[in-house]
Structure 1
Amino acid sequence: DVRQSSATAEAAARTAGQSAAAASTSASDAATSATSAANSATEAQQALAAIPQVDASGNMTLAGGLTAAGAINANGGVNIPLAVGAPTSESGVNRLYAAGMGGASNIYTAAAFLNTDSLTTTGTATITKTVPWQMARIGIPAGAHTTIQAPFEGPSSQWNYSSWAGFSFVWRSTAAAKVTMGFGRGAKTIRTDLTTDSYTIIPGNGLAFNFGEILDITFDNVRDTARNGYTVRVREIYALNSTDGWQVKTTTSFIPATQNEPIPWTVCKIIYQQQAVASSSVYENLGGLWLMVTGAQTNNLYKIATCRGVSNFETGVGISRWVTDVINTTSGTAAVNAGPGEYAYYQPGNINPLFYGLDAIGTNAIESEETADFEDINIPL
């Protein structure tokens, strides 16, 4: 019995020892886990603190560099400040490329000389050749009206197809006026001494179907005192197919200007460019019409219409002349200043970077567009 009791006591002692060891191990494991958890929490806090924070304006500051294995999208643009001082080799190369692109743009343009010897007017208007074959001033007496035709001379280096992509020319009027120009395939009929609501140029050959276009720009010279500016109307005459016939797209634009910057007094250039060769049967909005104005306006380039554009089949030199109607309701002599122009040609790939450049820096002044069947308006003055 004594031996049995002693064995039982030893077994109990061993069990107690094992339990104590297990308890000690558990305590050690618990301590280790607590330490690990604390370390993880510290690391998480440190990692969170290391993440760049976004301020109230949505800006984020990165203390170090940015490395990415994949692409980074920057739809809002990336601002890269340039260091002040002598240009680095890289910036010097970039400037050379920029200068080269500017030169390339010049290469793909050609002068259009104003044929002052062939300028014509109706009524009592007078022509002064300020610079022969370059500049002219047409004077219109008070209460008179006139129709001016100004032809251009330039390269005719096409055969059945042309690389013509646009045209710009110097033009200014000190009274209400309307400028009309035709380009692309098909004959054009010019009429004189009509009201400004009439069409000065219409498709020729009895309105026979063709793929050319006519642009008609009207300046009423009436200042909107409530809106502080001037309304400009553009009417585009075009045809997509012989079934629908000729259409007219009327675009109304508004150019902000004070009473010291009247329109069209401050118009300096009229510009037409199209971004690529247009389809003859689909209206793709590939053409654009801009006004460059002078004066104290913050913006001086205004897009006043989008146009269908023309194909390069039988486009020729593009716009070969403009026609201006002036009705002088002022008490003094009104004047139209006519100057030279510039033809633009497609660059490789049949694209016109001039269109994209103008579209990027210009102000869109278009407010409304409406298309209807063409109905001729022919009201003599």
Structure 2
Amino acid sequence: GNITAAGGTFDAVVNANGGINIPLAVGAVTDTSAVNRLYAAGMAGVTGILTSNAFLNTDAITASGSSTVTKTVPYHLAGIKVPKGTHSTIQARFEVSNPQWNYSSFAGFSFLWRATNAAKLSFGIGRGGKTIRPDLSIDSYSIIPANGLAYNHGEILDITFDNVRNTDRNGYTVRVREIFALNNTDSWQVKTTTSFVPASQNEPVPWTIAKIIYQQKSVASIARYEDTGALWLMLTGGQGNNLYQIATCRGVSNFETGVGVSQWVTDVVNNAAGDVSVYAGTGEYTYYHPGNVNPVFYGLDAISRNCIETEETADFVDINIPL
């Protein structure tokens, strides 16, 4: 059917024709196509300004077992090689200017990371100490809330890539476990999200990951779960899309959020035929635009493919199985 609006009548397929028209004040230049591109470029510039670099501290990367760390570009890029038949827990930190005081404007984070076979990536967000536990089974939690699971406001994200290709469905299953607490009474919970990332051209995941991306649309509530944040994978290869949403998250509040993400932990159990490598690099912090909104979240949400298939929330039960 047709849609009738104040500007006229048009068919049901609405095209932006090179850009979305942004309303202009009376007397403004009428070449809206050119003006819209300038507006879009200006907004992109603002978003660029409201970010800051997170430098990978290549001097501080540790890897358990017989793994070796190569500083490809100091404070920018590194490669970690895990020999066949071994396990390694890799820990890395970011250096940032810590631009906050008691409250924070942290709205998101993205960083370079990929592995050439099965691996698990874990990192904490926001307030509260985190305890790192190396050399556990791949299903164990490498990071848990610190101080005997004392209640706090931050959360932990745990992403498992099994690197097992589903040939019938042409793709890979990714599991995300989010550890969070809504209040001191209910204590910690874990939300497990299973996603299926298509790879019709047989591009292996996590080999083709270019970036891990976390963003939240607004400041999260401490006491309720509202899907404020989300996780995406940026992939390379022959897929028709290269941006995939793999989980929604509660997110963190502005109350003593700190810099948001300051470190990550990767676990590799190498049962492959040869060495497994993890490649990692710098990151970028996103800060809220005025009004505590994050347009980056909405942009990613608009152009990405949602791969979430199942979600389940339960009380947190620790999994701590040594190798």
- Following superposition, the deviation at residue 76 of structure 1 comes to 5.5
Deviation readout 1:270-304 (Å, 9 max, x if unpaired): 00000000110010110000001110000111100
Match of 1:209 in 2: 151
The answer for unaligned runs of 5 or more in structure 1 is: 1-57, 61-65
State how far apart, in whole Å, the 2-side matches of 1:75 and 1:180 are: 48
Q: Of residues 49, 65, 79 in structure 1, which corresponds to 2:15?
A: 79
Q: Of residues 166, 173, 177 in structure 2, which corresponds to 1:224?
A: 166
State how far apart, in whole Å, the 2-side matches of 1:90 and 1:244 are: 54
Deviation readout 1:2-39 (Å, 9 max, x if unpaired): xxxxxxxxxxxxxxxxxxxxxxxxxxxxxxxxxxxxxx
Q: Establish whether residue 271 from structure 1 lines up as the match of residue 207 from structure 2.
A: no
Q: Establish whether residue 314 from structure 1 lines up as the match of residue 256 from structure 2.
A: yes
Change (3 A) 1:76 1:353: farther
- When you count strand as a share of all residues, which structure comes out higher? 2
- Following superposition, the deviation at residue 225 of structure 1 comes to 1.5
Is the radius of gyration larger for structure 1 or structure 2? 1
2:215 alignment partner, SS class: strand
State how far apart, in whole Å, the 2-side matches of 1:80 and 1:361 are: 15
- Following superposition, the deviation at residue 186 of structure 1 comes to 1.0
Q: Is the 8 A contact 1:223 1:259 kept in 2?
A: no
Identity of matched residues, %: 67
Q: Establish whether residue 290 from structure 1 lines up as the match of residue 232 from structure 2.
A: yes
Q: Counterparts in 2 of 1:322-333, with a 5 A limit?
A: 322-333=264-275
1:101 alignment partner, SS class: helix
Q: Counterparts in 2 of 1:116-265, with a 5 A limit?
A: 116-258=58-200, 260-265=202-207
Q: What root-mean-square deviation, in Å, do the aligned CA atoms of Structure 1 and Structure 2 show?
A: 2.1
Deviation readout 1:39-71 (Å, 9 max, x if unpaired): xxxxxxxxxxxxxxxxxxx469xxxxx895xx8
Q: Of residues 268, 280, 285 in structure 2, which corresponds to 1:343?
A: 285
- Following superposition, the deviation at residue 81 of structure 1 comes to 4.0
- Following superposition, the deviation at residue 196 of structure 1 comes to 1.1
State how far apart, in whole Å, the 2-side matches of 1:259 and 1:296 are: 6
TM-score, normalisation: structure 2: 0.93
State how far apart, in whole Å, the 1-side matches of 2:194 and 2:15 are: 36
1:277 alignment partner, SS class: coil
The answer for unaligned runs of 5 or more in structure 2 is: 19-28
State how far apart, in whole Å, the 2-side matches of 1:323 and 1:89 are: 51
TM-score, normalisation: structure 1: 0.79
Q: Counterparts in 2 of 1:12-31, with a 5 A limit?
A: none
State how far apart, in whole Å, the 1-side matches of 2:283 and 2:94 are: 8
Q: Is the 8 A contact 2:270 2:276 kept in 1?
A: yes
Q: Is the 8 A contact 1:175 1:327 kept in 2?
A: no
Higher relative contact order structure (alpha carbons within 8 Å, sequence separation ≥ 6): 2
